[in-house]
Chains A and B, each alone.
Chain A
Amino acid sequence: MRLSTTARMAALAIVLTLIAGLVPVAFLWRATHDDAIEVLRRDTGEQADALAATWRRSGLPALRDAVEQVRSSDDPAVVAAIVDRRGVRVAGAGPDRLTTPPAPGFRIERLAEGGSWGEREAGVEMRRVGDRWLVNGRLLDDWEAAQRTIERALALSALVSLALGIAGGLALTRYVTRRVDAVATTADAVAAGNLARRVATDGGDDAFDRLGLRVNAMLDRIERLMAELRLMTDSLAHDLRSPIARLRARAEAALAASDHAQREAALGGLITETDVVTRMLTVLLEISRSEASERSGFTLADPAEVMAAVADLYEPLLDEGGTSLVTAFAAAPPLLLHRELLSQAVTNLIDNALRHAGEGRTVTLRVLSDATAVRMQVEDRGPGIAPEDRDAARRRFGRLDPARSRPGAGLGLALVEAVARLHGGTLDLSDNAPGLIATIVLPRG
């Protein structure tokens, strides 16, 4: 059977208290104990044997003579008496009446209530002789009496140790259980939905307090994450409202359309709008996934190659639009990076550049590398972003064009920034005089 932790703790406390109490007792006992009592017992036994032998050989009168002879000797401590069944002395040396009725065997006790026989304890052997009792032995001397006292004290102290051990063990267990329960009830309350509940700590830097502080720190983080999550879902719901409203408007237009061509056009618009919403959702999920900063899907790759592949994809598009594409890639040692997310970030920057730089201008893709970081830059010659607007530009759905005359969901830079952060880096926006330099800074190591 396996004991519960609480029971084992209590048992351990009891055992430890017992050991602590009994070890000094044992030492004291060893130090003071000698054979005095044992010698008394042996001597008394031998004397009793001799007297009993006298009784068997020569009968009660001979025994009576023998004990009377002891009485007449000048040692007042010697007990040698014949008593009746009730302990009343019939002959010999000893108290007139024993305090307890005689019973066979050796014992140490006070023989009488008072008088010289009652002053101290006596070690006596009692034997049955016919219908009488033979009581022989002697009063304890000082040393023997002291030893008896010590032994009694030792026994008492062992008992007290045991009682203290049990009480201490139970008290300790109760204390620990109470402190642990305080944490457990807090955890229960939090699990039940009360996120604000915390473990009470008394500031006394003990293990329980530290446990409480840790648990509280964890709960703080959980509460903060929950709040962020709620904020995100709220803003997501809010942000999806307008495209869904547009979807609805298109659907209504399709319903209201009188002729076939109009309906076709409205339904086509409906599908386009659906694609926009889908794309937005994907990007939003991509952003929040990146912000959750699980670094899965990272591979060792050269940032310049990532940039070159995107340049390859966009070159015809830029060419077609009359934008000249300039590439300047410094050779960089490979980095751990998420190839696809980084590519997507760069395409977002290029799309932004195309949208804002105007036609017939230059877009430059540049990769710079030094000992501390790799910088992936997309530079345009458009109007740029004023320094005071740069924070707004990074925000989700942050669009600087209040009239929203150009298409775009306003998620582009937010995704780029999330991707940069996923790589432990940043998105820098700076002035290209004129134009904008958007830089994804990827730190090394």
Chain B
Amino acid sequence: MSQKILIVEDDAASAAYLAKGLGEAGHVIEVAVDGRDGLFLASEGSFDLMIVDRMLPGLDGLAMIGALRAAGIVTPAIVLSALGTVDDRVGGLKAGADDYLAKPFAFSELSARVDALLRRTDLRASTKQDNVLAVGDLEIDLLSRRVTRGGRAVALGAREFTILEYLARHAGQVVTRTMMLERIWNYHFDPGSNVVDVHIARLRRKIEEGASPILHTVRGAGYMLSAAG
């Protein structure tokens, strides 16, 4: 099922670039060029996701999201902004955005975050919270915090368990390094070193030992937990 995404961006070139990329990913795109238009379109509540530039003519992106939230419209929103310091990011999230991405960004980063947010709305709509997450033959028991692969127990540290849980909740989707830093460590800055990669490498060694690959590296984007190749 294709999902409707509203892009609110005053820069025509950026909007076209986003619309093209997300359209190729199978989404239905509509573009608004300023905050007022965006507010008007989004207030129908028919979109599954909005991507909103923070600095818009007429009505500021965060103000637009604030107005929608006040009207009871909970369509998830990703804010794009040239303001990229830690305080800007945290402030944007506090203002009602569900995710915040500083410009310039890699398209793969945006795409991964779009998928994550669309999945989240899916989950909220359909299934209840499960005690056991299963990806192929990998099973994660959230209550006892035990992990098995093909029935065999895998011993994981507390941090490794958290990472695996996050990956499993987004199974089949690309998860980027910055997404993990934000969600798992609650850091909104880039540590510069490849710290996340090393965590993943450790985790991968443990869950793939004597079994088929399940934690894949997606080149130029991030990682994906997926049973299928």
Contacts and interface: CB of A to CB of B under 8 A. Distances in A.
A62 B84 CA distance: 119
A94 B87 CA distance: 105
Contact of B86 (A281, A314, A344, A351): A344
A341 interface: yes
Interface stretch (A1-9, A207-215, A254-262, A282-290): A282-290
A297 B94 CA distance: 11
Given A316-B198, A340-B187, A297 B90 contact: yes
B151 interface: no
Interface string B60-77: 000000000000000000
B193 A317 contact: yes
Given A286-B85, A313-B195, A316-B202, A279 B190 contact: yes
A166 B99 CA distance: 70
Contact of A309 (B87, B104, B185, B188): B185
Contact of B190 (A282, A285, A309, A314): A282
B229 interface: no
Interface in A318-366: 319-320, 340-341, 343-344, 347-348, 351, 354
Contacts of B194: 317
Contacts of A340: 86, 90, 187-189
B187 A317 contact: no
A296 interface: yes
Contacts of B106: 271
A302 to B, nearest CB: 15
Given A282-B190, A312-B159, A343-B187, A289 B195 contact: no
A281 B190 CA distance: 12
A282 B84 contact: yes
Interface string B170-208: 000000000000000101111111110011011000000
B30 to A, nearest CB: 29
Given A274-B104, A343-B187, A316 B86 contact: no
A314 B187 contact: no
A347 B185 contact: no
Contacts of B191: 313, 344, 347, 351
A316 B199 contact: yes
Chain B interface size, under 10 / 10 to 19 / 20 to 34 / 35 or more: 20 to 34
24 contacts: A271-B106, A278-B84, A279-B190, A279-B192, A282-B85, A282-B102, A282-B190, A285-B85, A297-B86, A297-B87, A312-B159, A312-B185, A313-B185, A313-B187, A313-B191, A313-B199, A317-B195, A317-B198, A340-B187, A340-B188, A343-B187, A347-B189, A347-B193, A354-B193
Given A316-B199, A340-B187, A351 B104 contact: no
A279 B192 CA distance: 9
| Central interface residue in B185, B188, B195, by most chain A CB within 10 Å | B195
Interface of B: 84-87, 90, 102, 104, 106, 159, 185, 187-195, 198-199, 201-202
Contacts of A309: 185
Nearest to A343: B187
B191 to A, nearest CB: 5
A222 to B, nearest CB: 24
A299 B190 CA distance: 21
Given A314-B193, A340-B187, A354-B193, 17 more contacts: A279-B192, A286-B85, A309-B185, A312-B185, A313-B191, A313-B199, A316-B195, A316-B198, A317-B193, A317-B198, A340-B90, A343-B187, A343-B189, A344-B86, A347-B191, A348-B192, A351-B192
A351 B193 contact: yes
Contacts of B188: 340
Nearest to B189: A344
Contacts of A281: 84
A201 B191 CA distance: 54
Given A278-B104, A312-B159, A316-B198, A341 B192 contact: no
> What are the 3 tightest A-B residue pairs by CB atom distance, in nearest-first order?
A316-B198, A347-B191, A344-B189
A274 B107 CA distance: 14
Contacts of B104: 274, 278
Contacts of A316: 195, 198-199, 201-202
Nearest to A268: B220
Contacts of B195: 313-314, 316-317
A281 B187 CA distance: 18
Contacts of B198: 316-317, 319-320
A316 B205 CA distance: 13
A135 B227 CA distance: 136
Contact of B192 (A274, A343, A347): A347
Contacts of B159: 312
A312 B202 CA distance: 13
Contacts of A282: 84-85, 102, 189-190
Contact of B84 (A274, A285, A317): A285
A319 B202 CA distance: 11
Nearest to B200: A316
Nearest to B159: A312
B192 A286 contact: no
A24 B169 CA distance: 95
Contacts of A285: 84-85
A344 B190 CA distance: 8
Contacts of B201: 316, 320
Contacts of A286: 85-86, 189
Contacts of A289: 85, 87
A398 to B, nearest CB: 17
Nearest to B83: A285
Nearest to B188: A340
Nearest to A312: B159
A279 B105 CA distance: 11
